[in-house]
Structure 1
Amino acid sequence: MLKAQETVLEIDLKALKHNFDHLKSRISSNTKFMAVVKAFAYGSDACEIANYLQKLPVDYFAVAFVHEGIQLREAGITKPILVLHPQAVNFNILIENCLEPSIYNVKILNEFIATASAEKLNDYPIHIKFNTGLNRLGFSENDVDTIISTVNESTSVKIESVFSHLAASEDLNEKDFTLNQIKKFKNITENMTKQMGYKPLLHMCNTSGILNYPEAHFDMVRSGIGLYGFGNSEKENKNFKPIGTLKTIISQIHAIEKGESVGYNRAYKTDTFLRTATLPIGHADGIGRQYGKGKGYVIINNQKAYILGNVCMDMIMVDVTNIDCKEGDEVIVFGPETTAENLAKTANTISYELITAISQRVKRLFIGN
């Protein structure tokens, strides 16, 4: 790894390959793999990550919104791309870029068929999403007959896959709930397949589903957080390598006398002498204010330096009173050892929120290619 000279998010592609290989080892050779690269590939850079994964290879990509899929196409991604939450206003440009929509209710189904018909399309691939307990998006089990009759009346679309999403696959205390979701999905898809006359791809498992419920791998699995190095449990985390290391440097060191304050609103006041280091990273870079006031920390020369006072837009101040350091020294915000998950816990949140919040103004540096 290179020594930082500014704030940078270092992405280790060898770690990405390790995570992909591990996930592949947990599924059968016949099971397809969908890489979830929404939200800028969980803060990493979707185009770079997808281009790397396309060569490994993956079978499908997934994004949340249409504009994310367009960016992948413009970056040279040729594999199928599922858009998980498309809006009708974007259907024409979705089709123009050969993206494949998740269809999650009757309104969206009718609107997409109308658009596809107007474009004189034949058998355009769509993906039918069912709600089996997450209660976020998706048709209900009672909608099967309506879906089949609506699709059968049109030659413009064809059901490529039927899928659902597990609500608590990482929590083994909710095993009964998850098994009930799987059972419900099996019932739905058996009914659908019977009426369709052919078998679409079936998929239900996210990263934790891949690891904990092999009986639900079906024809394809989807992984997001696992690719980026997190297994959603202490046991599984040992099999993954976080791909991102967020680094910065010490811009200035201050001697703070007893009775002085640090930062906006004088949120930290000292009753003793201390040394502080100011770092060029703040809430505009993804380090939210919830990490301030002694909750969050960074690593300087292998020691924890806690954040003092309020996080500023472009800077944080940390306590280096007992750390041997100087201006220009490298600082690790999170990485393979002190992970994003560890830092996120200090603010009572999760790694997903922290890594996806890293601003795109932070330079991404790719290593290990």
Structure 2
Amino acid sequence: MSIKQEEYSFYYKVKNESARKRLGFKAGFFWCTAKKQSLALSRGELAMDAAGFDEADFARPVRVHFPVENDIPPEGVFDTKFCENREPGGEDGKTLTLIPGAASAVKSDETELADGAGTPAGENGIQESHNPPANPQLTVVATLPFRHRVLAQYIGDGEYLYHVDTDQKKEIACLEMDTQNTTVQNLILAAENVEPFKKAIEHDIHKAVNAYKQVFPVDGKVPELCTTIKFFKEWFSAEHINRGLLVKEWAERLKNKPAPVKKTGPHKVIVDDVNKPERPRRSEKPTHRTINYELACGFCEELDLNNLRPAMDFAKRIIAEDREDWKRMSMTVGIIPDIKGYDRQTIIDLVRKAPKAVHN
């Protein structure tokens, strides 16, 4: 015998004033059809998470009578607009009713529009309004592309961002395009090269980005890409309870890591220079295009550094195929300052000595 389905609707009040200011609304609304209330509440939590919100910011949901209105949100969607001017009321306290002030304002607006009263009209009978929009246009972070989701948490200064406004979206776009900011570019590239990071929910992205900023502060030494990838792999592999300790260990290790000592040995240098074969030289000044070809040649196993022509067909092929390992290396090298000052062997060594994470 099948159990009868029932409509469940819930009112989620934002817990406190601080959270209301941060989120930009006072309550959420959710409804669905389910066999029992516990299932409906579970679906509400999932819908809240899918919309990019944290249940810790809301009070315990209150079940309300199903509203009979035209503008009710779709089933299964956690909505934040429907309760802008509604709250539980009525004799039983479970009926969504218009807030008294909001009800009179709506009625007044409708009357003015019908009677042509209100703000004085201009010469053409068109009423002018000089009031700015009440709320800025917000976008849920969870709906953004992956890179922008990562950067949204980066600009949050430690605070978890549910939404971003227009100015914040511009800031994110500028950061993504700023190839001189190696710290940010390494963060993006590392995130794209660590599988658990790409599959992470918003709260884990927020925590991972904050951990990155603690281990590699903006005013500190810029980390290498392979170091950043290694850190994120360890962070996502660690148990949640151990991640804070992992961050402290990494920060302490990098803080106390001694600077490399440059050994001076004039006689040895002279001998090395005599015995060391001459590094290959280019016949013309390098460009980003020729550097990309050199990178592609670096993936060729049988390569003569002094003559790239035999490997050029191979290089052209993997560039035309937009092969993932070459593309990653090209993006990485593209953010290195003064990359055109590097000789051919150094460029090719970047490929040959790169960590496995870049080649996979």
Relative to total residues, which structure has the larger strand share, 1 or 2? 1
Higher relative contact order (CA 8 A, sep 6+): 1
Q: Rg larger in 1 or in 2?
A: 2
Aligning the two structures, in what range does the TM-score lie when normalised by the shorter sequence? under 0.3
Relative to total residues, which structure has the larger helix share, 1 or 2? 2
Length-normalised TM-score, structure 1: 0.19
Length-normalised TM-score, structure 2: 0.20
